[in-house]
Chains A and B, each alone.
Chain A
Amino acid sequence: MSRFLFLSLPLSGHVNPMAAVAQSLSRLGHEVAWVGSESFLRPALGPDALVYPIPLRVHRGQADLGMAATKSRWAGYIVPHAKYTLPGVEQAVTEFQPDVLVVDQHAVAGAAMAHKYGLVWASVAPTTMELNRPFLALPKVEAWIQEQMAKVWTLAGLPGLPPHDLRFSPYLLVAFTGVALTGELTYPQNAELVGAAVTARAPDPNFPWDWLDPDRKHVLITVGTLSMDSATVFYRRAVEALSPLGDRLQAVIVAPEGVITDPPEHVLVRPRVPVLELMPKLDAVVSHGGLNTVCEAMFHGVPLVVAPIKGDQAINAAQVERAGAGIRIPFARIRPEPLRKTLLTVLDDPSYRAAAARVRESFREAGGAPAAAEHLQALALKSGTIHDGVREHHEITT
């Protein structure tokens, strides 16, 4: 039995697949703990999970688009989150004494602490933002990101510069996507693509299942938890796109209260939706292309219309389109008519569903959360040897 300490960012799309892996590790008889916000993690992890608490703190940033979003993600979110969580992560490491630290690629405090305590650690990629190193073509952007990670290294009390990129464990990277989407990965070499890591979540008894009419097709529209004006515009256009389609489909839109007033009879607006329970009943998903939603749709063989907003979403959208499992549309610029036309294409042309089914099969073969747990278990078994190596290396270099 080994001990695994999980560290993620307080984002549902990151915690959901990691929680599935943690559950698989527990089933294999290992001891798992988390470090992070109790109020955020508890609903996702359930009452029995061991959580070393760090109070939730809202960080600025993340509101921009394009390259500006990359900048604010690092300067306004990743670095402040790392700075804020470092002491709590350090305390959890010393108290729980994990054999392996399992670290979200963007929770770099975990990578720094693993180095500080000579721990074996694995990186987890809940986004595709870092796979294949998209910013290598922009060397000054890449150098700026390295500077941000060096700040966290220094804040952790470590001397000099990080010996390697803190986003990539030298031992293992587990990514929640599959080659059917990414194609052959060029970087990193130690990546294990396990497909979607999905676990049963608590059922939602309040969802009006009776509302779903079996004679019509069903569409889910979800563009993530945004508070941007452009999301409101997108919802309005989506409702306009859907309005003449009541004879053939019903749509569930995930949107905050008050954003969509007076939806037509065949459009249901809910602030929260049991996505995994709903997925088997769906014929298409319209999404901003967050990897978690994309992979959950692919896991159920449901084709997509993807309207990427920022970050890795454009990459995910391009991959879905290349796989033939959906169509990419512009988020901010799409008008109701092309949106309707695109949605109908995905619903009516069987090739999209067939392609989604192919991705689903490849995801099933990739093994999901149980496969990720096995990779982590194998790393823990090796950790003794690696530890000796780390120590020797340390003695030689100091």
Chain B
Amino acid sequence: MTVSETLPPDPELLGRIAGLLQEVTGEDGEWLALIGPDTRLDLDLLIDSVELASLSVALERIYGGSVDLAGYVAELEIDQIIALSVAEVAQYVAAHCDSDRQGAASGGEVGGR
């Protein structure tokens, strides 16, 4: 859990990740509005393994090849998976994205589907 302790979450990046979660789940704006940094993917959003894989692919597409959320989750203990929050995903992405794609992290266009 070193990632979540080293960097504070960037609100813009949090918003992008929430948007991607909305994309992979096909949810509405009402649902999106409920997502905050402490929202947990497993327990609160009920993101399943298929949706997590889609999120992982989308993050890699946007932020670069060394962003591998699925690989990160694969190494977690069961309690860490249960506790995985949107903020932790954001911190992981911030720590692993390609430097030339920082723009994507702070304001660039998120690819559509």
Contacts and interface: CB of A to CB of B under 8 A. Distances in A.
B30 to A, nearest CB: 9
Interface stretch (A37-45, A62-70, A124-132, A353-361): A62-70
A318 interface: yes
B1 interface: no
Contact of B78 (A67, A332, A333): A67
A138 B81 contact: yes
A68 B79 CA distance: 8
Contacts of B31: 333
Contacts of B6: none
A140 B78 contact: yes
A109 B20 CA distance: 44
Interface in A29-71: 64-68, 70-71
A318 B54 CA distance: 15
Interface string A118-141: 000000000000000010011111
Contact of B43 (A64, A140, A335): A64
B46 A66 contact: yes
A141 B82 contact: no
Contacts of B79: 71
A376 B27 CA distance: 46
A333 B47 CA distance: 11
Contacts of B76: 138, 140
Interface string B36-73: 00000011001111100000000000000000000001
A140 B75 contact: yes
Interface string B77-95: 1110110000000000000
Interface string B17-33: 00000000101100100
A332 B31 CA distance: 11
B77 A332 contact: no
B25 A68 contact: no
A244 interface: no
Interface in A136-189: 137-141, 144
Interface in A343-369: none
Contact of A138 (B46, B47, B50, B74): B74
A246 interface: no
B43 A66 contact: yes
Query: Which interface class (under 10, 10 to 19, 20 to 34, 35 or more) fits B?
Result: 20 to 34
A171 B77 CA distance: 31
B4 to A, nearest CB: 17
Given A318-B50, A330-B25, A335-B28, A67 B42 contact: yes
Contacts of A68: 42-43, 82
Nearest to B70: A137
Nearest to B30: A335
Contacts of B42: 65-68
B46 A332 contact: yes
B78 A314 contact: no
Contacts of B73: 138
B88 to A, nearest CB: 14
A66 to B, nearest CB: 4
B78 A65 contact: no
Given A67-B81, A138-B74, A144-B78, A333 B50 contact: no
B37 to A, nearest CB: 19
A64 B83 CA distance: 13
A119 B89 CA distance: 48
Contacts of A67: 42-43, 78, 81-82
Contact of B48 (A71, A137, A144, A314): A314
Contacts of B81: 67, 138, 141
Given A67-B81, A141-B81, A330 B74 contact: no
Given A318-B50, A333-B31, A144 B77 contact: yes
A310 B42 CA distance: 11
Given A67-B78, A68-B42, A140-B76, A333 B48 contact: no
Interface of B: 25, 27-28, 31, 42-43, 46-50, 73-79, 81-82
Given A67-B42, A68-B42, A71-B78, 11 more contacts: A66-B47, A67-B43, A67-B78, A68-B43, A70-B78, A71-B82, A138-B78, A139-B75, A140-B76, A314-B50, A331-B46
The 7 nearest A-B residue pairs measured at CB? A66-B42, A68-B82, A67-B42, A67-B81, A314-B48, A141-B78, A140-B77
10 contacts: A66-B46, A66-B47, A67-B82, A71-B79, A134-B49, A140-B78, A144-B77, A314-B49, A333-B27, A333-B31
